[in-house]
Structure 1
Amino acid sequence: MSSVSYLPEQRRSEILAILSRGEPVSAAELAVRFSVSEDAIRRDLRKLAAEGLCEKVYGGALPVSPSAQPYSSRAGEDRSRKEALATVALTLLMPRQCVFLDVGSTNALLAEMLPSNLDLTVVTNSVPVMAALMDRPGISLFALGGSVGGQAGGMTGAQAVSDMERYRFDLAFLGTCSLCPETGVTAFDGDDAEVKRAAARNSEKIAVMVTTDKLGARLPHKVLPMEQIDYLVSEGEAAQQPLHLYQTQNNQILTTANVDTNSVKEK
């Protein structure tokens, strides 16, 4: 318990510093730390959440992930960074693969960049991926059913999960809201997380593409642990989150800095 008396603004600044490191906060623990009531901490967290600085959850708060925004708001953000990730991801593709492309703005850019000479079969629950590939020669496109969510930008729910069981993927690119060494991939929405888990169950290999601002964040719904990820495509080292923390015995880490993108096949 701290003997220092904090003003509400000072408390919120300290709480925000913890969240900025990608760490969740507990109202009970913060109350002890600042020697105030849990009600006072909950008021602090509500104010931070109202300002868009955290994600309020039962018992505390989580760092804000870019994926908390509706798809339409984040589709055009950081396009050059996401294109660099997608360019690296293209090196993972082989002829005649069956590939799952999950919802997410980086996966949508990957769809735009897919070559037409690999005879790929693409299965997706993403509306933007469908739009990018529906008239593309050399690619067989299949779509999952389900309810369309504006935040996810595609189909989620029981129908999408049921449809997933009809396929077997060589490689699945999971849309990634957050990635943490301890919890792996996590998501904001439970239905979205369930679709991702179904894709992982039905795929030989799993790949995720993440910008550095998603590293270290933890969200409420578990998708899969780091040990089940085969390929992590990232921009490189991030403050407080060096990439060696994400290395497992089975995965391969590819970055935009150390992969020869000149070998990528053009459309």
Structure 2
Amino acid sequence: MLTQERQNRIRQYLSEQGRVLAADLVAEFRVSEDTVRRDLRELARAGHCRRVYGGALAPAPDGGSIAARVQTQPGAKQRLGRAAAALVQPGQTVFIDAGSTNLEVARALPRDMALTVVTNAPGVALALADHALCTTMLLGGLYDRGKGACLGAATLREVRQVYADLFVLGACGLDAGMGVTALDPGEAEIKRAMIEQSGQLLIAATSDKLGTVAPFRIAEAGQVTHLVVEPGMREDLAAAFAALGIDVSTAD
């Protein structure tokens, strides 16, 4: 089998299964481990996979700027937002960080619910402007227009002054083995701090983020308390998340 044929097959497996094991590829293609490692290295260099110990995972999708992401899969994100908002309890203090799905979570929060929302995303704060019973705290810092978030040392200091009941986290990638990951190190740092200051962790994620990995680690997957997903999640992913004790619910 030619190199291009092998790599096309590997890309197909990544698309269908989200991961490949080097040992399986060696056996299937009847080539050496060095050949498979070279294939994975070339695919990773081209952005088609993320190499991990023993194989590779599909890379987390990069949807671009927040302005672009809010235009992508709006219906799915609205459904996820409504399902995630239903898990928020009256009287809670809740971190909601930046993200197009998290924006829909904020929009779906009941207008007659008394709660406190702490966010580093001006868009989330604006979405709550007409929620009369919601106290909204907008964290300061250096505003990143592309991400729609305040980041940096000042934001980090303010996060550490808050103790929240729940953190609604916008994840770039989520895999049972590799954990919760982000595409940007600055965002990952803020997310890690919010986790440290929170009692529970909720993620609402579109299907293209499940079983994928981004470069910067945020948390172990087992730290996630609630996971809200679209219908039709792959059975292997559902089993892996359930084995970690994560409460998985589907957005209808």
Using the aligned pairs only, state the percent identity: 31
| 1:265 paired residue number | none
Is 1:108 the counterpart of 2:106 in the alignment? no
TM-score of the pair, normalised by structure 2: 0.83
TM-score of the pair, normalised by structure 1: 0.79
SS of aligned partner of 1:205: strand
Is 1:181 the counterpart of 2:176 in the alignment? yes
- Tell me if the contact between 1:216 and 1:241 (Cα under 8 Å) persists in the aligned partners: no
Is 1:72 the counterpart of 2:92 in the alignment? no
| 1:234 paired residue number | 229
- Tell me if the contact between 1:102 and 1:124 (Cα under 8 Å) persists in the aligned partners: yes
Structure 1 residue 43: Cα displacement: 5.5
| 1:120 paired residue number | 115
Q: Identify the match of residue 18 of structure 2 among 18, 22, 26.
A: 22
Could you tell me how far apart the structure 2 residues matched to 1:239 and 1:120 are?
35
Structure 1 gap ranges (5+) = 258-267
- Tell me if the contact between 2:66 and 2:148 (Cα under 8 Å) persists in the aligned partners: yes
Structure 1 residue 225: Cα displacement: 1.1
Which residue identity is paired with 1:226? A
Structure 1 residue 136: Cα displacement: 3.4
SS of aligned partner of 2:162: coil
Could you tell me how far apart the structure 1 residues matched to 2:10 and 2:183 are?
21
Could you tell me how far apart the structure 2 residues matched to 1:235 and 1:75 are?
17
Matches within 5 A, 1:49-68: 49=47, 53=48, 63-68=58-63
SS of aligned partner of 2:167: strand
Counting matched residue pairs gives: 243
Q: Deviations over 1:68-112 (max 9, x none)?
A: 522221112111111111111122122221111111111101111
Matches within 5 A, 1:166-245: 166-239=161-234, 241-245=236-240
Structure 2 gap ranges (5+) = none
Structure 1 residue 140: Cα displacement: 1.1
Could you tell me how far apart the structure 2 residues matched to 1:25 and 1:71 are?
34
1:180–1:151: structure 2 CA closer, same or farther, 3 Å change rule? farther
- Tell me if the contact between 2:195 and 2:201 (Cα under 8 Å) persists in the aligned partners: yes
| 1:129 paired residue number | 124
1:71–1:192: structure 2 CA closer, same or farther, 3 Å change rule? same
- Tell me if the contact between 2:63 and 2:69 (Cα under 8 Å) persists in the aligned partners: no
Is 1:149 the counterpart of 2:144 in the alignment? yes
Structure 1 residue 236: Cα displacement: 3.5
Structure 1 residue 65: Cα displacement: 2.6
Could you tell me how far apart the structure 1 residues matched to 2:237 and 2:37 are?
36
SS of aligned partner of 2:157: helix
